[in-house]
Structure formats: C-alpha cells, structure tokens
Structure 1
C-alpha cells in the first residue's frame, strides 16, 4: 500500500519546474545566451498566425535566436503537460499531439524534466528525466534526445521539425511508447558455447536480441513482466524492425534461446567495426550457413542483416557465374575492357578510366573492370541475372528464415541501362553483408546454404534452398577468379599473409549525393566466409577489406 500511495500522490503533482522557471543555456551568435523557459509561455496563437500570414513568408537561414525561441516553446510546453501547445510548436501538430498524448496515457510517463543543451546550428540536444508509473510500481527514466528547428512550409516560421525520434531516439515515425504487461516474455540468448549474450557485452547485438525475443519469446518458456517499450508502427514493421524494451518495471522470467554465434569471433567483429564509422560485417560457416558473428559500428540499425545497399563490384561474383555459364566469359580467354562502354543511353566507365588492352577475363575480374561486364549486356536477357541470383545463390526471394528479421537481397528484373548497371552491382540491385557473405560461402562450397542464427531444430522451421547448383566447370573458374583476386588483384593487400584456400572480391558502390562510395569486401578462407561494408568509406579493399580479413585470420 505504501508504494501505491506514493505513486498516486506523485500523479497528482504537476511536472517539476525548478523555482517556477526552467533555466536553459542555449548557444547564440558570438557566444552563449541564457534563456528562461517561463510558466505560461506558448507558441504563436491563431491571431498571431493570421497576422503573420499577411506578411511575406520568412526565408533564409535561421538565426540563433529563432532556434532558441522555437526550442524553448516546444520544451516548455511539453514539460508542463500542455500537449496542444507543444504540438503547435512543431511543423506537424497532428502527429506531434497524438504521440505526446500517448506519452502520458499509454507510456505512463510523468514528472517530466527537460534540460536543453547547447545548440549546434539548427539542432538542439536535450536531456530527459521522468518517472514511469504503472499500478503500484514506479521507476526513473533518463535519456538524451535532440530536436531540429526548421522553417515551416508556407509562412517560414521557425518550428520544431517533427519526428517521433524527438520524443525518444529509439522511435521511428509511426511507432508508439507503451507501458504495461509485455505480451512477449524476455529471452536469455546464449552463444554456441553456452555463454550469455548481452548488449552490454556485445553492443552490436541489441537489435538481434530484440529480434530473438520477438521470434522465440512466447515459445522459449519464459513469463512476461511489466515494461516501457517501443511498439512498432506500420512503416517499421515493413522494415522488419522489432519491438524494443526501454525500461523494465517488473522483471519477467526469461526463456532460453541458443544461437550459432562464436564468442571469440563476435568480440573480434565488434572490435573491428569500432575502428570505422558506419561499418558492418558478417561471418559464417560456409559449409552449414551458421552465422558466427555480426557487428555494426552504429548500433541503432542492423545494417549487416537488414541493410539494403547497392553492393557494387562484389556483385560481379554472381554476374561472373552467369557469364561463364553462358559462354560469354572464360578465365583465360581474351575479354574486352575498354575505358568506356555505352548501353541503353548510359555511358559507363572504369574507375580512373583505366582500360586493359588484350587482357583476359581473369585480369578484368581481378582489377574489377566495369566495362568488361557492361559490354556483355547486349547478349543477355533482362531476367538472366535475377534468375542466376535466385536459382544458384538463393537471393532475392524473401524466404530466408534466419531466426531474426533480415533482408534477403533484391535483384529485380530490369531493362536497358539499369539492367546493365545491375551487372556491376548498381542499378536496382540491393544487398547487405549477410547476403554477400552467403555469396562467398556458395562459391566456397558450391552449394547455397541459407544462413541462420538459430538452428532450425529449435522450432522445426524450414530453411530456404536454391533450385540448382553451378556446373563443376563454372564453379572451378569462379573459385580461380576469386583466388587470383585475393592473391594478385584488388583484394591482395587486405588478404596478404592469410594463405590457404582463400578467395575474395572488392567493391565500391556509388551513392547519389555521397562524396565517397560505399566500400565492400567479400571473401572466404577455409570453411569461413565473411563480408563487410563501410558506408561512405571509399574503396572496399582499403576499408571493408581489413575488417573482413581479420575475421578470416582469427577464424582460421
């Protein structure tokens, strides 16, 4: 009863306001300016808006004062529980009011204190402290967030650019915060050796743990507790994002799920991606598809499993298998590699506009000659690459059952120039490190083994299969191409010193509006296959290459 009474009394109080005002230090032009968020402060009302509408819309960069005033209006109103006023201080009042109302009614968040930080341009960071109260239980909640001020369309007035992430950085637009009895019990995830997997130990695995709970929580033998959690909306579900626990008010009893992760390789993967921004890597056992490690330097989204990025020249592994099967290329036969090749109205070129005169397909693959592949587009059908990716490599069918959400690659049927671009991993082709590690594994073993994180024996699920394998002759040539590239081509520096039965392919994927390309690398050594990407990093051999090679070294 004592706890219940204290929580009830707390609910009757108004949100905390220090000394009647909330002091905030916000940076202004030429130094720091001190502002006070006073009780009763509101954004512009209807009359003010009407008057402003008669004036010419404001344009130009926002001033420091405009940023500070807009941020102050929003944060003051939100802290004081004036939801409509807080929503009016944004550029999407309807969406803002719906989510902010839910923070109180559904998330049971109260006693809110918001402390703004120093702005960086139009962005204002702020800290959040509050209490989450449910029945006779209350727990403190603290986190950091940020808002951005923009000019509102139409009148140019400064307003908070509304996104759900303003309320909490774990929220995507359309998501909600809910406190209550969790519908899904927690899980205790184990590595292949029986050690417990936690996000504290392996920061990259937070989203993986969320996915494991969503998939196995109801069948792993646990009981649900009471939690504040992110409940995903339609857009997030389409992206296969899992619900996420933010605060546990009453512990549930976790069930147990064993994974295929190797603790030593996982630790190495975490260490490697931490060296570069926006890096992701996956390592798996080629002969079985067991996922041994997955890591991302950014922990909010699992790019390694769910990314959808143009794979650049690493896709040439798949394309080469197609060209060899069709008799359009052979390792030691002459093959064109001009500076330029035009097809479908597009003019394609090689990196630094190089050419190989009188060279073989081996030389073109090892140096990653774009035009060597584009030049074969006139001899191919629009669906040839799509069929090759699906039938031989098990990609682009959206049927992998890994144990957590994944994106299984996409190789759409295209025509003309986009079809030609797809041959070099551009156009509409989209992959992630999991997909490309699987490609390397298929070359190593000769057969597609769908990657998995939880053994299918746990729940009796069926893994995806490919409808056919490459001929022995094609497979032998493909292995020779990747082996030569690892020893003497664009992958040689990264793979130096590894030795053994190894093969690799580098890639660089151009992205509109991005100064440097995404760097890709896929490789195998022994029974280990791995792939990585460093977004906006530059050439794959210099960026993703060392990450992948180190895992192959440690896993060997």
Structure 2
C-alpha cells in the first residue's frame, strides 16, 4: 500500500448479494487501500483449484483491484511484476476514480465480471462500463490459488505491453465518411473500429480537427494505433473522405458474423476503390487486409491468365483433367479424385476447379518463375501498396519443382488475404491493375503502386467468360444464384497443416464490384465463403 493512501468505502467494501461468488459488488473510491488477501496455508497444494479457492481468490483480487491497491491485487496473480503496473495504472494512468466490480457465477475456473467505473480528468467526469473475466490457477511454486495474469483481466481489448491512459487525445478525432458522404462509426460498423483508429492516427492532424479528452489503449512502442475506449470531452473532428460504401459495409459486417473467423473485402475494378472491409472477430487484427494464408484455387485466376498469355490454353480448347498429376516427385489430385473427359475444354476445367489441368501444364511454361512474374507484373501482387492503412500485398515467391507446381493451385508458399484476392478479381475484370485504396490518393498525394503491364484484351475476355461459367453452372453456381448483373466467380479450398477442415475461399464480381472472402475451416469455397461474397455483391455499388 502506498504511504499515506486512504480508502473511502462506499456502503462497505463488500455488499452481499445472492448468487455469484457470494460477494457480489466491490465498491470503493480508488486511491489505495487495505484489502486482505486469500488465506495462507503452510500446505503446498497441487492440482486444479477447488471451487472455494476460486471464489476466495477472485473475491480478494477483485476487492483489492477495486480499492485501488494494485500492489495487493498483484500478489494474488501468478505474475506480480507484469500485473502491478497495469493494476496501479488503472487509477494513476487511466484516472479511474471509482469502480464497482460485480462478479458473476464461476464457470469452472473462470469468473466473469462487470466493471462500472467513473473516469475523471481535468474537471471532466464520465461513467465507463465493460465486462471481462479472470481464470484462477494453481501457482507453480507456491501451490496457492492465483489469478492467471493476462492484460485482458483489466480490459478485454488490452494486449501485451499496452497501457490504459486518460488525457488529451494525441491526435484530433476524425469523422470518416463513405464515398457518398455517409458517416462511418465503430458502433454501426464494428469491423471498422481498428481501421478508423488507424485512419485517425494517420490523418487526424491534417483534417482540421482538434483533440478531445479520452480514455484509450496505447500499444507498446506505438506498434499500432491507439484504441479509444471512452470520450470524456469531444474534440472537433475533422472530416475524412474514404472510398468505402456504407451499404456494402453493412452487408459485409452481417455476413461475416455467421462464422467464428471470417474476412471479406470488396473492391471496385474500374478504380481500385475499397468498398467494404469486414472481419469476425471485429476487433484487433485486420485479417482481411493483413492476413497471410494460402488462397487455394482462387489463385487459378492468375494461373489461367498466365497460361492464356503463353498460348498454352484457350477457353474453348480441350485440356486434360485426369484424377491425378505427378510433377517432380509430388502428386496432386482433384477433389474426391474426379476426372473429366479428354474432350473437355479449359473453361470447364476452370469452372469445375480441376487441379490437374493446371499442374500438367507447368512443364510447358519452361519457366518455374512464370507464375510469380505474372502475379507481380500484371496483378500487382507483392508491390508496395499504399492503401491508406497497413496492408499485406500478397506474395508468390520464386520456387522450383513440386513447390512451384503447388503454387499453380494456390497452395505451397503462396500467401494472400481477402484484399489481395479481391484485387486479383478486379484486375481480371478490367485487364488492368488498379491499386486498392481505402483513402483516395487525392487526400495526401501518396505514391500508388502500378503494374508493369495490362492483360491483352483477348485474355481479359476469356478470363471473364470462364468466371461467368463458374458462377452460372460451375462450382460457384449455388452461391452466386442470388447475385444479379454481369457476374463471375471462382471457388477455392486451401488445405492447412494440422487443420482437419480446409479454409473456404471464394471470389466473384458483379458489374463494377469485385469481392473475396475467406472462412477459416469453412470447407468448400462455395459453401461458406461464397454466401459472404454474394451478400456483399448484392448490396454494393
């Protein structure tokens, strides 16, 4: 306890309520205090904590934390050194002057609770409420029941190395609007939360706004944008134009919520304007634009373009599609080992997603690096995209042998995200790469990436026709049935080591909008990711 610190108890330190831990609400004015710790015992216990230990430890920890005694609370965790600064900083850095913590019934070793706090700074005061949970574990050396320390104990969005702070905001607030001028906010569009935080950090000081007083999460070393949790006093927000479309964004938000892990991006082919970005989970890592995964057969759009350009295939020319194909000691097969008649044209192989039709042609290219060149020079993959926020811009590294063959069907060392595949589809749609942007280039005159060349018109036409076939009678038919306009698609399933079910990928276009989605462990592309893409295409513009 800090020297001279006083505790003002509100209605008693513990208020008895029915249910829960038995001690339902801990309510005190922060600023130090003396709260007893869980009873000590000379016996070094082993095994998981019992229910009484869980209750007692959670009770004493929450009481110490609520009283403002971070030092006492940290002694009840399994990491005193890491927990004490954050527990103490709850009052000193976040300026929480009052806290009411209400635990719920334990679920095994986990104890959920709600925090109703008051934050005060520079004469401004505002209530702050949220929910989190803790887990009670057995101390490895002491045998005592202790709170398993994680920053999320303090706040569910707090990450390792980050801190809670209250004060004058470091940058002015922004009012982000879509391309039609409609306001975009975190409450209506949860997936935009991290994106809006990043846009504020990057453009807040140049949009004419002024800082307010806020409570925020500050990542360690400025590794990411601050996350605003509470606004005590509004600053003057500056208006920032984005390329997003509110209708497409709303549809994207709703679509990804159907799966535990899903991402989707929509891009306008004629301009590169990003119309929607959505992730589930909605907070934290922007997997839709920064993820790095094998995209499966959606990459066959690039492979097909390369084969068409080299004259090794044409849309209506027969192409072999056997059950299996061997290339330099590595065997590849089609889904459920299907095969197509020798007279089958390349459009059907594309629409049915025949892996072997692509693998068997790698020798004919006489260049293992042909696909990486096509991806970079035509589709802009791996160039330095400056979208307006951080993005991973795709990777098709130079490979040889079987690893190069795996790339033809989007496996191996290929790394993509929903943004990259949506952009590939957009490029196939027009024949020309337009670097995706979420903030118009005119806002800051940044350098936009450009590809070395466009696709020949006859290749662009054939790619569009093959994607139309996939959407109308191929593997994308069911997912795209509800989508109108001039439409096309490509499905994909990406196998991941140690994962029982493949990741579901899907990409498609409708008129001047392209979209791509990935659903983790979603299986076939048309089953999970397909409906996500279709929802966005129906709503977008």
- Bin of the TM-score, shorter chain as denominator length: 0.7 to 0.9
Aligned to 2:339: 355
Q: Name which of 322, 333, 355 aligns with 2:306.
A: 322
Is this contact kept in 1: 2:24–2:103, CA < 8 A? no
Mapped contact 1:516–1:537 kept (Cα < 8 A): yes
**1:393 equivalent in alignment to 2:386:** no
Pair 1:157–1:191, CA change in 2 (3 A):
same
Equivalent position SS for 1:217: helix
Per mean C-alpha deviation after superposition, the further-off stretch among 328-337 and 171-180 is 328-337
Within the candidate set 14, 17, 21, 2:7 is matched to 14
- From the superposition, tell whether residues 163 and 429 of structure 1 become closer, same or farther in structure 2 (CA, over 3 Å): farther
The farther-off stretch of 172-181 and 298-307 is 298-307
Question: Which of residues 287, 308, 311 is equivalent to 2:292?
Answer: 308
Q: Secondary structure at the match of 1:457?
A: helix
Residue 510 in structure 1 maps to residue 495 in structure 2: yes
| Cα RMSD for the two superposed structures | 3.2
For 1:204-215, list aligned pairs within 5 A: 204-215=191-202
Residue-by-residue CA offset, 1:166-221 (whole Å, 9 max, x unaligned): 21122221211111111200011122222222223333322222122112100000
1:277-426 superposed matches below 5 A: 277-301=260-284, 302-341=286-325, 347-358=331-342, 359-376=344-361, 383-397=369-383, 399-415=384-400, 417-426=402-411
CA displacement at 1:490 relative to structure 2 = 0.4
Determine which of 130, 141, 149 is the counterpart of 1:162: 149
| Whole-angstrom distance in 1 between the partners of 2:482 and 2:212 | 51
Q: Is the 8 A contact 2:38 2:56 kept in 1?
A: no
CA distance in 2, matches of 1:526, 1:411: 28
Q: Which runs of 5+ in 1 are unaligned?
A: 1-10, 28-32
Task: Report SS of the residue matched to 2:416.
Answer: coil
Whole-angstrom distance in 2 between the partners of 1:449 and 1:430? 20
Any conservation in 2 of the 1:319–1:385 contact (CA below 8 Å)? yes
Q: Does the 8 Å contact 2:118/2:127 carry over to 1?
A: yes
The aligned residue for residue 37 of structure 2 is: 42
Q: Secondary structure at the match of 2:12?
A: helix
Mapped to 2, the partners of 1:324 and 1:201 lie a distance apart of 44
Q: C-alpha separation between the residues in 1 aligned to 2:324 and 2:8?
A: 66
**Is the contact between residue 43 and residue 85 of structure 1 (CA under 8 Å) also seen in structure 2?**
no
Change (3 A) 1:131 1:340: same
Q: What corresponds to 1:6 in structure 2?
A: none
For 1:394 and 1:496, the matched residues in 2 are separated by 30
Give the total of aligned pairs. 528
Match of 1:226 among 208, 213, 221: 213
Q: 221-230 vs 296-305, which deviates more? A: 296-305
Per-residue deviation, 1:224: 0.8
Match runs of 1:105-504 below 5 Å: 105-151=92-138, 158-234=145-221, 237=223, 241-301=224-284, 302-341=286-325, 347-358=331-342, 359-376=344-361, 383-397=369-383, 399-415=384-400, 417-496=402-481, 498=483, 500-504=485-489
Find the aligned partners of 1:468 and 1:542 in 2 and give their Cα distance: 35
C-alpha distance in 2, partners of 1:382/1:41? 69
Equivalent position SS for 1:229: strand
Q: Cα gap change, 1:309/1:136 in structure 2, threshold over 3 Å: closer, same or farther?
A: same
- 1:270 Cα deviation after fit: 3.2
Deviations 1:412-441 (A, max 9, x none): 344555444333223333322222111111
Does the residue aligned with 1:253 lie in a helix, a strand or coil?
Answer: coil
Cα pair distance change 1:262/1:36, threshold 3 Å: closer
Q: 2: CA distance between counterparts of 1:357 and 1:23?
A: 76
- Structure 1 residues 25, 513: closer, same or farther in 2, change over 3 A? farther
